A and B are shown apart, each in its own frame.
Chain A
Amino acid sequence: MVRLTVNGKQQQVDVDPSTPLLWVLREQLGLTGTKYGCGIAQCGACTVHVDGVAQRSCAMPVSAVAGKRITTIEGLASGKTLHKVQQAWIAHEVPQCGYCQTGMIMAAAALLREKPKPTDADIDAAITNICRCGTFQEVRAAIHAAAKA
C-alpha cells in the first residue's frame, strides 16, 4: 500500500512500490490526462506537479512520492475556472493533436509559479517537452499571454 495525495484527495493504492507514478495515476486512479510518451523521462508528456514542482512521472516509482502532494492536469483548474495557462492555451489555439499538451501545460504552469514573468530564455530552459506536431510557436505565445493575465 502506498499513500499519496492526488489533486487534494488522499489515495491509497495497492501496487508494487516500483510502479511508476504515471501508471498509478492512469490505471489505479483513472486519471488518463497524464500521458505516456517514452517511459524514460525524455518527452515530458507525463509531467505532473509534485509538491508544486514539475516532475516527469513515467520514470518515478510511486514509492518515491508517498505522502507527497501531486497535482495532475485534472486538478489544475480551480473548480470550473480553468487555470490561466489553460485559458491562454484555448485563446491561442495551441493544441494540434493535443496528446503532449497536458504535460506541456503542467510544465508551463510550474514555470509561471516560479517565474511569473518569464523571458524567452526562461521558457527555453524550462519547457523541454517534445511536441511532434510542432506547436512551439503557439506554446511560447500562450505562456507570455498567461504571464500577462
Chain B
Amino acid sequence: MKMNRRTFIVSSSAAAGGLALGFGLPFGAKLAEAQADSTPEINAWVVIKPNDTVVIRMARSEMGQGTITGLAQLVAEELECDWNKVTYEYPTPGTSLKRKRVWGDFSTGGSRGIRTSHDYVRMGGATARVMLVQAAANQWKVSPSECTVANSVITHKASGRKTTFGKVAADAARLDPPKDVKLKDPKEWKLIGKPVKRLDTADKVTGKQVYGFDLKLPGMLNAAIKDCPVFGGKVKSFDQGRVLGMKGVKKVVPVGDSAVAVVAETFWQAKSALDVLPIEWDYGPNAKVSQESILATLKEGLDAQQAFVGNQNGDIKAGLSGAVKKIEATYFYPWQNHAPMEPMNATARYTPDRCEVWVPTQDGEASFAALLAASGLPADKCDVHKINLGGGFGRRGAFQDYVTQAVTIAKQMPGTPVKLLWTREEDMQHGHYHPIMMAKLTGGLDQQGNLVGLHIRLSGQSILAAVRPHIVEQQKGRDPLTFQGLADTGEHAFGYSIPNLLIDHAMRNPHVPPGFWRGVNINQNAVFMECFMDELAQAAGQDELEFRRKNMKGLPRNLGVLNAVAERIGWSKPPRPGVYRGLAQMKAFNSFVAAACEISVQGGNKVKIHRIVAATDPGYAVNPAQIERQVSGSFVYGLSGLFMQECTVKDGAIAQTNFHDYPSMRIAQMPKVETIIIANGGDVWGGIGEPTICVAAPAVLNAFYKATGKRLRDVPLKHHGIELV
C-alpha cells in the first residue's frame, strides 16, 4: 500500500516539474475529450458558454475560506469578463493527471490557495482573453490591436462592431494559444482588491448545498465505522451474528486490521448496529501510555543535551552568562482536534474495472493517491469527485484515512456505492492532532534592560516526522516546520533582531498522530515567544511595545503591523478603568501579522474580550471582505483552543469524545474584531487563512497578566478555572 502511494507522489511531482518547465503547455492543450458537455474550453481555466456564462475551473478546494472566489477574481481580472456571469467548477484529479497536471497543485493547505497559484491562473485568464479577441478580430478581418475588451464584450471601435465572449468562444477554442502574453500591472486591476461577493453563498442558506455527508447515489448503502480507540491497536474479533438480523443491516466488514464497519440501508441503522456489535480489541503496547508519561518525556526534552537547531546567531552561552538578569519560563501547548462541523466521510463505488470516490477533500490528489492504494487499480481506472467540505482546517488534506476506509469497504461489496460517515465520537478519537509541545525560554538582560541573549528550547512532537518523513530524513532528523514563526529565514522567519540567539528542538514523538491544524506550529510558537517578550519587557521595566520595537531592527513589515495595531487600539493612552491590553506579532505563511486586544476580568477568572484589532500584511489583498472574515473567523478557532480545548491520552486513547468535553466558542464569547489590511505589493504574496490566528492567544494572555498579575503559561486556560464570557 505504501509503495503505491509513494510511487504516485514521486510521479506526480515529476509531472509538476514538467509543468513548470513547459509552461505554454496548459494553455495549448486541445481538450474536447475532457469536456463534460459540448462547450469547448478556451483553456484549462476558462470555459465560456454560448450564453456568455464564464466557467472558471480550479484545482484548489473551497472549504469556506473564500479561495475559489479569490482565484476566480484573479482569472476574471485578466479575462476582462463580466463578473456577474462567473461560476466555477472543479476538475477531477484523474482528468488533471491525464492532462499532465494542467491545473497544478490540488493541495489546499498552508494558506497557499492564492499565493502559490496567482501567477498561472492570471496567465490562464490573460491567454484566454487574447484568444477571444483574436477570434473576434478574425471574424471582422481586423487587427486585434484595434479591438478593446471589457465585461465580456469585444468592441472594434473604428467600425462600431461589438460581439460577446459567448459568440466567439467556439472559434477562440480552435486557435493556437499565444505566447508572451503580458499580465496587467497591479495598478490596472479593477476586480482584484475589490470586496466582491462570494460565488458560493446562495445554496448555503437554503439547505441545497450538497456536502459529502449529504451525497446520495442510486443504490447506495451507508456505513458506520469503529476504529480501535487506542492508536496502533487491532481488531481481535467481532461477532457479526449479533447484528446481521437487525433491520436494514447488510454486511459487517473488517476495515484494515484495526477497524470494523457495519453497512446498512441507512446510516442510523448502521450506527445502531455498530453500537451493539461485540468487538474484541487487541489494544497493543500503546494502551500503557498515559498523559503523565507523555508529559514526563517532554519535560526531559527541555534540558536534553541534543536538539535540532532551527535558528541561531551570536554566542548564546556568552550572551546569557554576561547578562545581569536572567529570566526563565516554561510553556505548554496541548493536542487539539480539528473538529470541523462536518465529520469525516467518503463515498466509494468499486468494481474490478473502475473505482470512484466522492469526498469532501482539501487535496483531490491526496484522495486520489489513497484511492489508488486501497483499490489496487491503475490510475486510468479511477477518479475522485470533490464534494463541498463542511470545514477542513487541515484535517482533510494530507490525511485521507476515510478514503482508504471507504474504498476498503466498497471493495468488499463490488458494484454497490457505499457512503461511510464518521460519528463525532469517531472524529474526536481518530484525529491528526495539533502537536503537543513544551518550551523553556531563557532570556538575559543587561544593565540597561537590553535583551542580550535568548534561548528557546522546544520539546515535543514533530508533524513532518509522522507525515512527511522524507523531509525529516533530508534534514538529518530535523523538522524545519517546527520552527514556524521562529525560523532563521523564509516564510516563517523570526520577527526579532536579538543578538545571541538559539532556538532548538528536542524532538519527542508520542504515539498520538499529529497533523496540520489551522496555523500549524505558529499557534504554540506565538504563545511561547510573544508572552515571553512581555515577560522580558516587564523584567526590564519597559513598555511592552517599546521593548519589542527596540528588538525589531531591519524588520520593517513586522514593525508595520505592530505599529498599526498599537495605534488603532490607542496604546499610547491608557485604557478605560478595568480594561487591560495585550499585544503580539509574528510572520507566518509569508504574511506579517499582529494583534492588540482589550479585555476585562471579573472575579479573577471570567475573561471578557471586548475588542481585538488585527493587522495582516500579505502584500496583496485579493478580496478584503473575505480577508476580514478569515481573520475574525480564525480567532474563534484559535481562542477556542486557548480557552477550552485539549485532547488528552488515557490508556493510550484520546479521552475526549464530543463537544461536551471538547467545547468550542459560541457567539456570546465572540469579541469585536477589527481587521487592518496592509497591501503594498512586492514580489511575494502572503497567505490569508492561517497567519493571523496565532496572534490572538498571546495578546489575550498578555492582557490577562496586566489585569491579574498572573502569568498563564499553559493551554487551555480552563485548567486554571478560567472561562471566556
CA distance A97 to B629 in the complex (A): 12
| CB interface residues, A 69-126, toward B, < 8 Å | 72-74, 76-77, 82, 86, 89-90, 93-102, 105, 123-125
Distance (Å) between the CB of B470 and the closest chain A CB? 31
Chain A min CB distance to B262 (Å): 15
Q: Would you call B664 and A130 a contact (CB within 8 A)?
A: yes
Determine which of B266, B272, B341, B670 lies in contact with A140 in the assembled complex, contact meaning CB atoms within 8 Å. B670
| From B339, B392, B633, residue with most partner A Cβ within 10 Å | B633
Q: A102 to B202: give the CA distance in the assembly, Å.
A: 12
Bound together, the chains give a CA A92 to CA B392 distance in angstroms of 23
Check if B391 sits within 8 Å of A133, measured CB to CB. yes
Q: A136-B667, A137-B632 are in contact. Are A93 and B201 (CB under 8 A)?
A: yes
Query: With an 8 A cutoff between CB atoms, is B32 at the interface?
Result: no
Instruction: Please tell me if A66 contacts chain B, counting CB pairs below 8 Å.
Output: no
Residues of A within 8 A of B668 (CB): 124-125, 128
Name the residue of chain B whose CB is nearest to the CB of A37: B341
Q: Which residues of A contact B197 (CB under 8 A)?
A: 93
Asked if residues A33 and B208 are in contact (CB atoms below 8 Å), the reply is: yes
Please, which residue of chain A has its CB at the minimum distance from the CB of B209? A98
Known contacts A35-B342, A82-B205, A86-B205; is-contact A16 B247 (Cβ 8 Å): yes
Contact (Cβ within 8 A) A39 B424: yes
A96 touches B636 (CB 8 A): no
Name which of B213, B267, B268 has the most chain A CB atoms within 10 A of its CB.
B268
Contact A74 B390 (CB under 8 A): no
Q: Is the C-beta of B658 less than 8 angstroms from some C-beta in chain A?
A: yes
User: In the complex, A123 Cα to B667 Cα: how many Å?
Assistant: 8
Interface SS majority for chain A: loop
Residues of A within 8 Å of B340, CB to CB, are: 97, 99, 132
**B312 contacts which chain A residues (CB < 8 A)?**
none
Q: Does B666 contact A (CB under 8 A)?
A: yes
Q: A45's closest neighbor in chain B, by CB?
A: B341
Q: Which B residues lie within 8 Å of A134 (CB)?
A: 632-637, 665, 670
B629 touches A96 (CB 8 A): yes
Query: Does B258 sit within 8 A of A, measured CB to CB?
Result: no
Bound-state CA distance A40–B656 (Å) is 14
Are A27 and B267 in touch, CB under 8 angstroms? yes
A residues near B420, Cβ cutoff 8 Å: none
* Contact A27–B659 (Cβ < 8 Å): no
B201:A90 contact, CB within 8 angstroms: yes
User: Which residues on the B side are within 8 Å of A57 (C-beta)?
Assistant: none
Contact A127 B633 (CB under 8 A): no
Distance of A141 from chain B, by nearest CB (Å): 11
Q: Which residues of B are found within 8 Å of A147, using beta-carbon distances? A: none
**Neighbouring A residues of B339 by C-beta, 8 Å:** 132
Residues of B within 8 A of A99 (CB): 211, 340-342, 390-391
Judge if A64 is at the interface, Cβ distance under 8 Å: no
Partner of A32, one of B210, B391, B635: B210
Question: What residues of A have a CB within 8 angstroms of the CB of B202 in the complex?
Answer: 90
Interface assignment of B2: CB less than 8 Å from any CB of chain A:
no
Does any Cβ of B come within 8 Å of A1's Cβ?
Answer: no
Interface string of B650-685 (1 = CB under 8 A from A): 000000001110001111101011000000000000
Pick from B200, B629, B658: contact of A38, CB below 8 A. B658
Residues of B within 8 A of A35 (CB): 211, 213, 341-342, 390
User: Which residues of B (391-411) have their CB < 8 Å from a CB of A?
Assistant: 391-393
B691 within 8 A of A: no
Q: How far is the CA of A89 from the CA of B635 in the complex (A)?
A: 21
The proximity string for B residues 61-85 relative to A, scoring 1 for CB distances below 8 Å and 0 otherwise, is 0011110000000000000000000
Q: Is residue A50 contacting chain B, with contact meaning CB distance below 8 A? A: no
Q: How far is the CB of A67 from chain B (nearest CB, A)?
A: 21
A38 to B665, CA, bound (A): 15
Asked if A133 contacts B206 (CB within 8 A), the reply is: no
Q: How far is the CA of A15 from the CA of B266 in the complex (A)?
A: 11
Question: How far apart are A97's CB and chain B's nearest CB, in angstroms?
Answer: 3
Across the two chains, which residue of chain B brings its CB closest to A86? B205
Residue of A nearest to B195 (CB): A93
Query: Is the CB–CB distance between A40 and B341 below 8 Å?
Result: no
Q: Does B198 make an interface contact (CB < 8 A)?
A: yes
Query: Is residue B379 within 8 Å, beta carbon to beta carbon, of the partner chain?
Result: no
User: In whole angstroms, how far apart are the Cα atoms of A39 and B658 in the complex?
Assistant: 9
Pairwise interchain contact B207-A31, C-beta atoms closer than 8 A = yes
Q: Which residues of B contact A43 (CB under 8 A)?
A: 341, 659, 664
Task: State whether the Cβ of B567 lies closer than 8 Å to any Cβ in chain A.
Answer: no
Assembled-state Cα–Cα distance A76/B197 (Å)? 23
Partner of B673, one of A73, A98, A137: A137
Q: Is A10 positioned at the interface, with any CB of B under 8 Å from its CB?
A: no
Q: Which of A39, A100, A140 contacts B423 (CB 8 A)?
A: A39
Partner of B207, one of A36, A37, A72, A130: A72
- What are the residues of chain B within 8 A of A127 when measuring CB–CB? 666-667
> Given A16-B247, A35-B390, A125-B668: A42 and B658 within 8 A (CB)?
yes
| A:14-46 near B, CB below 8 Å | 15-16, 19-20, 23, 26-28, 30-40, 42-43, 45
Q: Which residues of chain A have C-beta atoms less than 8 A from B343's C-beta?
A: 36-37
For the complex, is A5 an interface residue (Cβ under 8 Å from B)?
A: no
Determine whether the beta carbon of B666 is less than 8 Å from that of A27: no
What is the chain A residue whose CB lies nearest that of B425? Answer: A39
Among A93, A105, A129, A135, the residue within 8 A (CB) of B625 is: A93
Which residues of A approach B to under 8 Å, CB–CB? 15-16, 19-20, 23, 26-28, 30-40, 42-43, 45, 72-74, 76-77, 82, 86, 89-90, 93-102, 105, 123-125, 127-140
The 8 A-B pairs with the shortest beta carbon distances in the complex, nearest first, are A33-B207, A134-B636, A99-B390, A97-B64, A98-B204, A96-B64, A134-B633, A124-B668
Q: Given contact pairs A32-B210, A34-B207, enumerate 20 new A-B contacts (beta carbons under 8 Å).
A: A31-B207, A32-B207, A37-B342, A40-B658, A40-B660, A42-B659, A93-B625, A96-B65, A97-B389, A98-B64, A98-B201, A99-B390, A124-B666, A132-B340, A132-B393, A133-B636, A134-B634, A134-B636, A137-B673, A140-B667
Binding site for A on B (CB under 8 A): 63-66, 197-198, 200-211, 213-214, 216, 222, 247, 266-268, 272, 339-343, 388-393, 421, 423-425, 625, 629, 632-637, 658-660, 664-668, 670, 672-673
- 21 A–B pairs (Cβ distance < 8 Å), ordered by A: A27-B267, A30-B216, A37-B343, A37-B424, A40-B658, A42-B659, A43-B341, A73-B207, A86-B205, A93-B629, A102-B207, A127-B667, A129-B666, A129-B667, A131-B341, A133-B636, A134-B635, A134-B636, A136-B666, A136-B667, A137-B670
